[in-house]
Structure formats: structure tokens, C-alpha cells
Amino acid sequence: MRSLPAKEEKRSVNVRHDVILDVPNNDNIDDEYKSAFEKVNVALQALENGSVNLNISIINFNASETTLNDDVCKRAIALLPEAYREYYAKSILPGKVACVNQCHRGHPKPKRCSYDGTCEVSSQGPSCYCRHTDVTWYLGGDCSYKVNKVGFYAGLGVVAVIAVITVAVLTAYLVINQKKVKRSKDIKQELVKEWLEDDFEWPQQKKTYSVGRAPHDNPAYSQGDFYRRDSMGKDRQDFSAGRSYTQYSTPEPGIDLQYFHRNVKIDRPQIRSSFDI
């Protein structure tokens, strides 16, 4: 059996420590935390320098600051009903850490109410309660789109009055226009009626015809210049045609002279006016 001499070996142990600080949550929370953190650094440096008589030696240490987490808010709302907890969140306010609901401006998703509305949190979530609802309408759920009831009814009344006046004016215009059209039509019909009731006669002819010449005779030819075509196709003067009629001869007996100067009368014309079409 052989024995060997003991050999010393240097070994180090890495240890991680969480230091819990009791810092008052007030307006000076930042200063209080920094002061406590500096005290921890001083204590660690004393251990490293050996100023503290311990059986161990500290070779190196690294101290780092931590940020505040959601545990602060979780502990604060632990006593609230579960239906309310989802509407609360952690918020870092000036000088302190707080747990606020959605009605607070520091919430990540705040509920804002317009026109000085009041926000309240219920089991259904945050809601806005608007002011002066007896004289005001709010079209939005967050008290937005404010409408004054008195102004609305006044404007509605003005619009109704304008509409009634417009309808009355248009009705009066149509009635007056129809009366004018009817009056004009009656006047035209009356004129046509009066014209149709008048008796129209042709005036007497001042020119008279001689007895010896018929009114339809052509004066360019003499009554004695009549020609008759023979069987050979030649024209021969016929003296017998003008033997009984001369320019100054008198009518034969039996001819009534009253037919030569008789007035001519025409029947009443049938006229259709434009209103009958």
C-alpha cells in the first residue's frame, strides 16, 4: 500500500443572490431605490477587499439594477373580484409605481370621456357617464358628438316653417298660373265664338256686265270671230255664231235680268280653334 501526498487545488463558486430592498412607495421612490442600491455596492466592495473578516474570499462581483415588474399590481388587486382585475394595469407615475384602471390617464389603454364626462369601471368594463343629459344628447359612447336639445328643436322648427312657406308659395303660384291660363283660354274661345256668330256677306260688285256679253266671255275675241273646222281639217269662219249676239244687242225675251246683279252669300265657315286639337 502506497500513500500519496495531498495536493491543494484552488476552486471558485459562482453564486447569484437576489437582494430584496424595502423601499417606500412615495414621491421619492427613485432616490430611495438608488440610495439602497449604493449601499449594496459598498457592502460587496468591502467583502472583495477583505475588510470584512470572513472565511471566504470574494474575487469578483457584479451588481445590476432591476426594473419594477407586474408583481406590484398583482398584489394590489388580489383582493378585488376577478371580473375587475383585467381592467387594471401597472403604471409608473411621476415618483411612484401605481396600479391603475382604464379610467386613469396613466393606463396603457385609457378610457377617455369628452365634455367632462365621468369614467367608472364596472364588471362590464369602463363606461362614461355624461353630464347634463336632460338638455343635451350625446351621439357617441364616450360623451362625444354633443347635441343641444333646445337648439335642435329650434332648428327643426325653422326648417319646418321654411318648408311650409315654400309649399304655400308654390301652391299659390300654381293656382294663379292655372287661373291665368284658364282666363286666356276663355278669352280666346270668346273671341272665336263672337267671330263665328257674326254674319259675313260678300260686298256687292260694282262692275256690271252688258246684256249682250256673258260674264264668262273672253273680250280678246269678237263674238263674230268664230271658226269651224271642216271635214278637210281647215278652219273656216262661222258667221252664224255671232249673228244673234252683238256687243250692244239686247237680251232676248224670257231672260230674267235679276240674275245678273244678285248678291252672293256664302255659308258660315266651320273653324276649329287650337284648343279643340
pLDDT by position in tens, the chain (length 277):
344 454 545 566 677 777 887 877 777 777 888 888 888 888 888 777 766 666 666 667 777 777 666 667 887 888 888 888 889 988 878 767 788 899 998 888 999 999 989 999 988 889 999 988 888 899 888 898 988 888 888 999 999 999 999 999 999 999 999 988 988 888 888 887 777 766 544 455 555 544 444 444 555 444 444 445 555 555 555 544 444 444 444 455 555 545 555 566 666 555 555 545 5
The predicted pLDDT at position 173 comes to 93
* Pairing of the two strands 136-138 and 146-148: antiparallel
Distance CA 28, CA 35 (A): 11
The predicted pLDDT at position 226 comes to 46
Q: Give me the sign of the Cα torsion angle 189, 190, 196, 197.
A: positive
DSSP structure string for the chain: -----------------PPP-----STTHHHHHHHHHHHHHHHHHHHHHT-S--SS-------------THHHHHHTTTS-HHHHTTEEEEEETTEEEEEETTSTTSSS----STTPEEEEETTEEEEE-S-TTTEEE-STTS-SEEEHHHHHHHHHHHHHHHHHHHHHHHHHHHHHHHHHHHHHHHHHHHHHHHHHS---PPPP-----TTS-TT--TTS-TT-EEEE-TTS-EEEESSTTSS--TTPPPPTT--GGGSSPPP--PPP----GGG-
The predicted pLDDT at position 277 comes to 52
Q: Are the C-beta atoms of 154 and 160 separated by less than 8 Å?
A: no
Distance CA 253, CA 238 (A): 25
Q: What is the CA radius of gyration of the chain?
A: 66
Domain ranges for the chain: 19-66, 71-144, 159-199
Distance CA 133, CA 171 (A): 42
The predicted pLDDT at position 51 comes to 63
Distance CA 59, CA 44 (A): 11
